[in-house]
Amino acid sequence: MSENGKNFAGLNVASFESRRGKEMAMLIEKFGGVPHVSPSMREVPLQENQPAIDFANRVITGQIDIVILMTGVGFNHLLAAIDRKVDKQRFFDALSDIVTITRGPKPVAAMREVGLTPTIKVPEPNTWREILQTIDTEIHIANQTLVVQEYGVTNASLVAGLEARGAIVESLHVYDWDLPEDIGPLAANIQKVIDGDIDVSMFTSANQLNHVLKLAERQGQLEAFSAALRGTVICSVGPTMSERLRDLGYPVDVEPVHPKMGPLVATAAERSKDILVRKRQIRAVLKETTKVALNKDAPWYNSPFLKACRREPTDVTPVWLMRQAGRYMQEYREVRAKTTFLELCRNPQLCSEVMCTAVNKLGVDAAIIFSDLLPILQPMGLDLEFAKGEGPVIHNPIREAADVDRVLELESTDSLHYVMETVKQTRADLPADMPLIGFAGAPFTLASYAIEGGGSRDYVNTKTLMFRDPGAWRELMERFVRAISRYLNAQIAAGAQAVQLFDSWAGALGPDDYRRYVLPYVKDIVAQIAPGVPVINFATGNPALLPMLAESGAAVVGVDWRIRLDVAWETIGHNIAVQGNLDPVSLLADPIELRRRAKEVLDQAAGRPGHIFNLGHGVMQQTPVDNARALVDMVHEMSQRK
């Protein structure tokens, strides 16, 4: 009997739990699921582990200052390794005299079994980030000899963070991981996923995923398994597991507030059925959309813009301008004088007209649909108004964790039909060989508008909710991930050849906060976009975020003007295309200065395939149209390949 209506309703649930497999199967059955549990790994203690013995003796002789115990089973393996080699009581007495840090409840329980109490307990979700944050608030580790008891593999991020804080870090390896001795059940579960017989896939450790993929690869099934796995509801026990999934390009559909097996199964039981319906609907759309996106005979396929997105050589550097249809153009101002901004956004014919006018006037190599970042908020329950002279205003902003429940799921894009009609109309009105770009606001920027109620200088309300209630923040961001993914894929299905994520306010965050609170959700969006369709990931305001923009999986990273393009590309990596990055104010300069600045950007790109010329942000209202047109001509002229 399930709890509080949480029920898998007969869904087939795969788990790769090893040590607690029986418990996992019972939980899945308790919540109405059909369990398919197969062990994925086994712990292999190191034989004659001399480093463990040496470590114990160094603890006894006072040579170790701090010990971090990552797992309970690892602590037990350590004790087994030193058994009959070291006086255990002396070891326990010495260990109790130094600082011991435990990650999660299991190493705490293992220590208590031998009469020890840890000095510091790291709080949930017990990732390496919480370890570092706890250390920062509890102790100083500079110049201290610190030993990390590993669990299978070295956590390079943790070691780097400890070393950055001045510690002398050593790793203690106490056991290895290997595939189960009997791989039959695991191989059978892999085949069930491939055959479409699994609805929900659960992972409680990164090593489970590593071993499943290892066996799939050994059997020549990796590609088929990975594709099929993405079609299941992918459930992660917590942030560390989620990070590993996203690093390998898998979306995370379910993650409980508390990183434990029980909450994982309960949360999955509550949400999996609805998620599965959405995923199957989206996959049906993506299947057809992908055929079109990968059609090499399409007139736009070998356009300079799309070739640059694929980092293929082009005869000329492609150029388009953010906000290329806007208030700086007389034709746009005439249209706007007759209607409000939101009414314009809801009129596909007018939206196509203003964009096609701009494209024809400027001679750019790509068009972007005329719309705005914020209309998606209205069907999600937020009261949006574009107030005259004030810009966008949300009259019912999110301020408390409970307010997140007011944000509705975007179950379909029917309420945004006018955007899809704009895509269709613009695609029909453009030259057949010109690519059309769709777009959406990135989740942090949409969340910031929804929380602040409009623009902000310091984003204090957004950051307060983000820092104070990570669970509410995760729920809000996951709703935006689902909405944005559906919205962008609908634009692609309607006729867009590429999509751009605009993270206009991401510069308000430092790198650590962006990585923790934003990057996982951007990765999820990119992973859910129709394969073959380039995603441009653009964030403005903080060049230190560029490495993480590249980690998102996007084909192109947009670069603003606050960093040289060559430095940015080196930072991002030359295996990713870049877009940018002329300062928009350059368009107010005289032609000689404008040409000099454009040439600087082109020179920094050095003719490397994969550069899309653009501004570092949108065209400013004061820009003379002739200057914008001249810039496009200059870029084409100076980048012409001979």
Give the residue among 455, 474, 456 at the shortest CA–CA distance from 466.
Answer: 474
Cα 324 to Cα 330: distance, rounded to the nearest angstrom: 13
Check residue 10 and give left, alpha or beta (phi > 0: left; psi -120 to 50: alpha). left
In sequence order, the 6+-apart residues with CB closer than 8 A to the CB of 240 are: 125, 126, 127, 128, 206, 259
Residue 434 token pair: 């010109």
51 upstream amide cis, omega within 30 of 0: no
Task: Please spell the DSSP secondary structure of 90-119, one letter per residue.
Answer: HHHHHHHHSEEEEESHHHHHHHHTTT---S
Residue list for the binding site for substrate = 323-327, 372, 449, 504, 617
CB atoms within 10 A of CB 205: 23
Cα 574 to Cα 265: distance, rounded to the nearest angstrom: 41
Q: Hey, what long-range contacts does 24-28 have (CB within 8 A, 24 or more apart)? A: 24/202, 24/261, 24/265, 27/261, 27/262, 27/265, 28/265
Secondary structure of residue 523 in the 3-state scheme? helix
What angle in degrees, to the nearest 10, is found between the helix axes of 348-362 and 417-429? 40
Q: What is the DSSP letter of 409?
A: P
Secondary structure of residue 554 in the 3-state scheme? coil
CB of 107 within 8 A of CB of 76? no
Cα 173 to Cα 46: distance, rounded to the nearest angstrom: 8
Residue 137 token pair: 């608030």
Active site residues: 323, 327, 336, 372, 449
Residue 564 token pair: 């040289």
CB of 441 within 8 A of CB of 373? yes
Cα 597 to Cα 580: distance, rounded to the nearest angstrom: 12
Residue list for the binding site = 323-327, 372, 449, 504, 617
Distances (CA, A) of 63 to 49, 98, 99, 148, 462: 19, 10, 12, 14, 46
Secondary structure of residue 444 in the 3-state scheme? helix
* Helix H or strand E segment including 42: strand 42-45
